[in-house]
Structures are given as structure tokens and as C-alpha cells.
Structure 1
Amino acid sequence: MRLSIPYPAPKVGYWEPVTATLNWCEEDYYATKYSAEIVNTITNFMFMYLAYRGISNCLRNQHPTVFLVSFFGYLVVGCGSFAFHSTLKYPMQLVDELSMIYTTCIMFYASFARGRSFIFSFLLSISLASLALFITGYYHYLQDPVFHQNAYGILTAIVVFRSVYVMESGLRPQWKAKERELRLLSGFSNGHADTAHEDANGLKKNLSKEEIEELKRCDDRDIKILKTMWTMIAFGLSSFLGGFALWNIDNIFCNQLRQWRRDIGLPWGILLEGHGWWHLMTGIGAYFYLVWGIWLRHCLNNNQDQVELLWPRSWTSFPSVVRRKNTANVSQKKNL
């Protein structure tokens, strides 16, 4: 008994002719005349679903507005990619690819503007808007996908490395020691600068037993948070890079993969659609980054005890940051 059906002959497409500068390895209009690349189209539902989760979570838990805007950008990426692969029209290609640049610029702003002056933030926003407009115009002029891919890759790498640096410097107890000493020396711990003094071993603070215990609790808490954050980074980055690798295999070995798909037949042949896997895996990787960014922002704002990460840590679950219940007592603790 045959457990597959042969690939049908290509149909005359509803959206023809193709005007995009890119056409992927999936054969055009073999499933329906209304979608040029059916697998590359429907895999964008992952973006739409995760965008819905992210937007709902931001609204429900009142996360910083910049992340709500980022999730809307993430949704536009998914919708743009859906339209592009359905039609293979150049305007839809621009919506797909340029929305990736714009959303990354929003995250760039979120990473670099936190804690900075209004003037710095304003100038940064103007610079990023100008950069996005330059990339848009120059890409439209060149119509070279490599330019877009390089621009997106560079922006993404800068944002990720910056976020990792901020995470480590802002949460790692050893990195915070000098700042904490200065704050305690200034009397921030109990409101009096004369409660701290310098001895032969350096700065020594007159802390109560309760303050010392709270300090240790915060350090232990932040170390646990960092371990979980690094797990999230590894998970998201592995998904993103894995999708990128499958996409490149799809490009390099396209002729062989097309032959294998036809040999295997439907529906199993769709498992060899590398660009579809790119959508699924990069969608997951980007979602993990956004959730990590939300959690990191709350932690940098010293709200670790007011929020928590919900993540069963399985391949079938997605994390989310929610506000804890009954945190009134915790919020009254001293911020050391």
C-alpha cells in the first residue's frame, strides 16, 4: 500500500507572473493556483501564533511598550512573508524583508537606549530611522538580496551581543560588586553616608544581619536567573542557526532535494522544504530573543521579584514572562 501520492504537475498561478528578485527551492503552484509556495506560505503561521502570544502577554502583564511594538513588528514579518511566498511579487518581497530590518532596529533602540538621557535616546531614534530609510532606498536601488541579508545579520549580531553584555554586567554579582560598594559607601543602604568607611581591606560596610541575608538572597537569585537566561539564549540561538543552516542546504542542493521530494511524494516531501524549516526555526529563535529581552529589562530595573519566567523547558513549549501575584511584601524589601 502506497503511503504517499505523487507530486501534481504545476498549475497556472493566480498571481503570475513572478516579479520578485528571489524564488526559492519549493516548486511553484504545485498544490494550488492561489499560493506560489504553499509550504513556505503556511509555515509563517508560526510567526503569527507567536506574535499573538507575545502581544497578549505584553498587554496582560504591562511589559515595556517597546516590546509590544517589537511583537507587532514580528507579526508584520510573518504576514509579509506569508504574502511574499503566496504571490512571489516584488512589493510583497519588500514588505517581508524590510520589516525584518525595521523590527531589528526597534530592538536595537531597546538595547541601547535604556537608562540613557532623553537627548541620547532621541538622537539614537533619529539615527536608526535614518539607517532604516537608507537600507530601504539602497536595497530598492540594488535589488540585491545579499545586501539585505548582510544588513540584517550585522544588526542582529550587534543587538544580541549588546544584550548579552548588558545581561552579564547588570546581573552577574561579581560585575555588580564595584557599583554596589559605591552605592553603599554613599549610604544608599540605610540613608546615611557615615555608615560606611574604608579600612585596610578596602570598603567595609556596616550592614545589619537582615541586610546581609537579603544581599545574599539577591545574588543567589540573580545567578539562577542568569543560568536560565543562558539556557534561553542557547535554545533560541540554536534554533535560529539551525534554521539558517537548513535554508542554505535548501539553496545549495536544490536540484537534488527537488528530485528526492518527487521520489518520496506527498505529504512526506514537504519535510525536505528547507526554507519552510527556516521560517519555523527562526520564528522560534526570534520569539525567544524577545521574551528574553522582556525578562532582562525587568531584571535590570530591579523587578526580579515582581516577575517570573514561565517555561517548562521542552521542545513543545514557549516561554513567557508574567507578573507574580502577592508581590507587595517583596517590593518593600530594600534594593541593595
Structure 2
Amino acid sequence: MAAVATMEGFEGYWGPPTATMDWCEGNYMVTPYAAEFFNSLTSMFIAVAGILPILIHFRRRDCMEWRFIIAFLSVTIVGLGSVAFHGTLLFEHQRWDQVPMLWTVAMILYVLFEQKHVQPAYRILPVALFVYAVVATLATSKRSGDMQWFSFHAFFGLATFLAVCKVTLFYRSLPTDMTELRKVMSYGFIALGVAITVWLMDLKLCNQLHMLPAYDYWNFHAWGWHLMVSCGLYNILIGIWYHRLKVVLEKDVSLRLSPLPHIAFVPPKLACHTGVSEKIGKLNAEERARTMERSQALSRALTEEFERSIVAQAVAEVIPKRNYLGAYG
């Protein structure tokens, strides 16, 4: 691949940018192998925000429904795609960033719509979200300059707006006594608000921001957007998962805020899924009868043993009294 010389004197390994967006950070400022070094580096925050909940709760993965596993892993894939996009500024790698974002927001919408239902309530919902994601993927994968940029933000923005509305309604429905959950959700809202603000500033005020000293090294997109959106997604998804376990599935769990928001299971060996109870419920009548018969036999044996011990104790008390009276008879 042909190299491209930059104003800093470096040669870019990946060649001229072909992506529809070149962010405010200067290209190849640090190394010729990363187009936007700090944007690429801080994209790992997003990947970590997705995989960290799975690692923290790995011992209780039986308590994590597949909807949450997929949602968390989707966030991780977005982060890795962002690393590739910012590191190369190639259009094919830009799709690795944008397409996972479309599928991730679709998965989060499924989680939100089914949040308060023990069993799936909307059978058409997965089909509708799948169709949306496929259409959005096809529309944003075409290399057509401004139209590609508009298509992606139209599809992604619509789904994100719907997700924000659902999360807001969810937050407003929380009881006031669920203080820990409300705190975690509030942290998530604040982080996302800051993230969107600095994203817009970096996008619209690039020339003005470059007047600040060494802005390429601490730019808002890298250290603001990537970091804050990671914190926001982490807190909100943890809060939603906790609410489902605690309120919907009625599990004995608590929400801990330190050192990171996480879910504590009480007792540690809590059975989260209904698989155990379902298996017990499927015992046939003969097995239940045998179990009941053994229980009754054990109960009778214990009763008889108890009665014999009472009789023996009574006899032991009576005999000495008779001997005592006989001595004075």
C-alpha cells in the first residue's frame, strides 16, 4: 500500500484516508502505523466497557441472560472496530466501527422493550430489529461520501433516540427507595451527556480547538467522547441488568457502587435461572410418591424412637421411687 507523507514528516503506513470522516486529531502525529493514534488508543475504553461486566460477573454467568451477554459483547466489538477505523482511516475499517454500532443499538432496544417481561412478550420485535439492522447496514455500507455519512447518522440517530426515550421512561419509573440504582443510572446519563457535548465540539469547532496547545494529544473525541461514552454505557447496562434480576426475576441481589458498579449475589450460590425448579417440577408422579413415602417412613421412625426414649425415661424415674418406698415399707 502506498504511503502518504504528512505535514509532520511521517509517512502513513495505511495510505491516504478513504473514510468518509477524518476527525480533528492530526493524522500520523505519533507513529506512521496509526492514523489517529489517540483516537485509536482510547477506543479500547469502549471495548473494555463491554467485556468488563462479563469478566467481573464471570463466576455467576449462569445469572446473565443471553440478551445481556450479546449486548455487552456488541459494545466490545464496537470498540475494536473503532480501533481499526481510527487507526487506519480506511472506509472498509470505518464499516467495522459503524455497522456494529447499528447492531448494538438494535440489541439494546430489544433489552429495553423486553425489560419488564419474564418471558418474551413481543414476538415480532426480534424480526423488526433484525430487518432494521440489515437495512441500515446495507444503506451505510455504500461508499457514497456525504450520503453515506447521512445514512448512517439517520439510522443510528433514530434508533438511539428511541433507546434514550425508553431509558428515560425506565429511570422515571424507578421507586425513590432504589437509591443505588438511581445513582448508577444518573452517572450513566451524565457521562453520555458529556460525551455527546464534547463529540459535537470536536466535530464543529475543530479549527478553534486547534488553537489550544497540543490539542492533537488531548483532543475531545479521544479523551472525552470515547471515555465518557464507555462510562455511560457501562453504568446504564449494569443498572438495567440489576433491575431485571432484582425486580423482574425476583433474585436476591444487591447493587454495589465501589470500586466499580457491579452486582453482588446473595447467597453466592444463588440459582438465577429457573432450570433447577423446572427440572424438579418435571419429576413424574412415581418419583414424587417414592420421595414422599421415604419421608413418611423417616418421620414414623423418628416418632417411634422419640416415644421409646420418653417411655424409657419415665420407667427410669419410677423404678428408683419404688425402691425408695420399699426400703421404708
Instruction: Say if 1:254 and 1:321 are closer, same or farther in 2 by CA, change over 3 A.
Output: same
> What is the match of residue 224 of structure 1?
177
State how far apart, in whole Å, the 1-side matches of 2:184 and 2:99 are: 27
The answer for unaligned runs of 5 or more in structure 1 is: 1-7, 173-222, 329-336
Structure 2 matches for 1:150-161, cutoff 5 A? 150-161=154-165
Instruction: Say if 1:224 and 1:13 are closer, same or farther in 2 by CA, change over 3 A.
Output: same
Shift of 1:18: 1.2
TM superposition outliers: structure 1 runs of 4+ over 3 Å: 163-169, 272-276
Match of 1:310 among 247, 253, 256: 256
Structure 2 matches for 1:12-161, cutoff 5 A? 12-61=11-60, 62-114=63-115, 115=117, 121-141=122-142, 143-161=147-165
Match status 1:287 vs 2:259? no
Shift of 1:302: 4.6
Shift of 1:258: 2.2
State how far apart, in whole Å, the 2-side matches of 1:243 and 1:126 are: 31
Shift of 1:298: 1.0
Q: Is contact 1:77-1:99 (8 Å) kept?
A: yes
State how far apart, in whole Å, the 2-side matches of 1:15 and 1:274 are: 21
Equivalent position amino acid for 1:53 in 2: L
Q: Is contact 1:243-1:278 (8 Å) kept?
A: yes
Deviations 1:69-88 (A, max 9, x none): 11110100000000000011
Deviations 1:295-325 (A, max 9, x none): 1211332525x1111113xxxx531112122
Deviations 1:91-120 (A, max 9, x none): 1111101211111111111222352766x5
> What is the match of residue 300 of structure 1?
247
State how far apart, in whole Å, the 2-side matches of 1:67 and 1:302 are: 14
Shift of 1:23: 0.4
TM-score, normalised relative to structure 1:
0.70
Q: Is contact 1:113-1:124 (8 Å) kept?
A: no
Q: Is contact 2:118-2:249 (8 Å) kept?
A: no
Residue 40 of structure 1 aligns to a residue whose secondary structure is: helix
Residue 13 of structure 2 aligns to a residue whose secondary structure is: coil
Residue 255 of structure 2 aligns to a residue whose secondary structure is: strand
Residue 11 of structure 2 aligns to a residue whose secondary structure is: coil
State how far apart, in whole Å, the 1-side matches of 2:12 and 2:268 are: 58
Q: Is contact 2:118-2:248 (8 Å) kept?
A: no
Instruction: Say if 1:241 and 1:166 are closer, same or farther in 2 by CA, change over 3 A.
Output: closer
Deviations 1:37-81 (A, max 9, x none): 001010012122222311223432222221111111010000000
> What is the match of residue 198 of structure 2?
246
State how far apart, in whole Å, the 2-side matches of 1:269 and 1:243 are: 18
Structure 2 matches for 1:247-262, cutoff 5 A? 247-260=199-212
Shift of 1:294: 0.5
Deviations 1:194-214 (A, max 9, x none): xxxxxxxxxxxxxxxxxxxxx
- RMSD across aligned positions (CA): 2.5
Q: Is contact 1:64-1:294 (8 Å) kept?
A: no
Larger radius of gyration: 2
Greater RCO (CA < 8 Å, at least 6 residues apart): 1
Equivalent position amino acid for 2:238 in 1: V
